[in-house]
Amino acid sequence: MDKFIINGGKPLSGSIPVSGAKNASLALMPASILASGVCQMHNTPELRDIHTMGRLLESMGLSVKLQNHTATINSTGINNFEAPYEHVKTMRASIYVLGPLVGRFGQAKVSLPGGCAWGPRPVNMHIEGIKKLGADIELEAGYIIAKAKRLHGARILFDISSVGATGNVLMAAVLAKGTTLIENAAQEPEIVQLTEYLIMMGAKIHGAGTGRLEIEGVDELHSADITTIPDRIEAGTFLIAAMLAGKKEKSIRIQKCEPHHIGSLIVKLEDAGGIITTGPDWVELVPPKEIRPINITTAIYPGFPTDMQAQWITLMSLAAGTSMITDTIYFDRFMHVPELSRLGANIIMKENIATVAGVPKLVGAKVMSTDLRASASLILAGLAAEGTTEVLRVYHIDRGYESIETKLQALGADIRREKGEEF
């Protein structure tokens, strides 16, 4: 397994681009199942999860080619409606094929998903939503088996706003007979783009970007091309790198991003002392002389994203005071805390609240990645720490950050990838 060797304390400056959004691509790619034809998805990131989704679609008979950040998907050869465990076990987003398969073909057999190492993320909202649309669903030997002659419209109210469930039910509903209402729908940019893409394919959907989606089912869709939005979590991660390790009085510019997608993070970074300027597709940050301690509570979009919680804890580890970080989305997403403590961070956990007392410095050590965002937090810590940090099991980071070491090297970071220990 690969590892990163980071010699910390190197001041960063310059500019780097943001790749396409992983979570948007992982919803857009299964949407190709809904129509027969060839589509192109530009600005698709070269990531482990993207290749996993591509192999899953290919196992169903689709053709998937990823070249120069364009995914070309030909759905004319679909001949298998099963998503087997071997493809699904490594990535929870694989369940996105359930809605399109049932919606268009009236059948699906999808393995219960795997993915991140932390915490359960139940799929019951996906299942119950598609049941309301008229599918018969059984759980058998680790598989979701769904059947329907044709789905029909229904009113679906999610108890909590779920990105995955909203996307799955939305894709199932576009070909259902009649009108579907999705209440308390997710409003994340990735869901907004999925909605816009389905409309490009001929779907009739009202309310994009709101908590209430109204879908009038159509008989068929057609293929369409799209350009994937920038990855807001990658942009946010690099902004925190600038806060932690940026050259004083020098700016770092994050290019090819959507500033309004990370508005809540920008506000908090300014509260912490960062000087931020934004343009139509860029954000520029000058780091403060002293990081101020700022509390955050994660929330559904447009609140502070849970996917930035681990990185924020790293930032607050070097703040001049004490802060509290509360994750209301995933209570058990704190596996990075013991590893940050190995670098000298002072963090006390109580249930879903981390109390972080800022320390004067972090010191390099050997640490282990446990999930995607934890990996990012440890890399950030290594950039700011004195001495050498080894981050093990970086295959996690490859799931969601495209060539992160190359981009950080462009800013002046001393980071390299090496073969690491086997586990």
Question: Which tokens sit at 168?
Answer: 């799955």
Cα–Cα distances in angstroms (integers) from residue 83 to residues 31, 87, 94, 95, 139, in the given order: 15, 7, 8, 8, 14
User: Is residue 116 among the annotated active site residues?
Assistant: yes
Q: How many residues does the chain have?
A: 423
Question: What's the half-sphere exposure (Cβ side, CA atoms, 13 Å) at 288?
Answer: 17
Contact 66, 47 (CB under 8 A): no
Which residue, among 94, 110, 44, 101, has the nearest Cα to 73 in the 3D structure? 44
CA distances in angstroms from 12 to 15, 152, 378, listed in the order given: 10, 55, 17
CB 73 within 8 A of CB 41: yes
Phi/psi of residue 73, each to 5°?
Answer: -120, 125
* Ordered DSSP codes for 127-149: HHHHHHTT-EEEEETTEEEEE-S
Are 144 and 137 within 8 A, CB to CB? yes
DSSP assigned state of 98: H
Q: How far apart are CA 365 and CA 387, in angstroms?
A: 8
C-alpha 108/C-alpha 106 separation (Å) is: 7
* Residue located via tokens 């930032």: 315
Half-sphere exposure of 210 (CA within 13 A, CB side): 10
Q: Which of 12, 24, 33, 116 is catalytic?
A: 116
| Alpha-carbon torsion angle 106, 112, 118, 124, nearest 10 | 60
Task: Return the ∠ at Cα 391 (arms to 164 and 240), rounded to 5°.
Answer: 60
Name the pairing type of β-strands 252-255 and 14-17. parallel
Catalytic residue set: 116
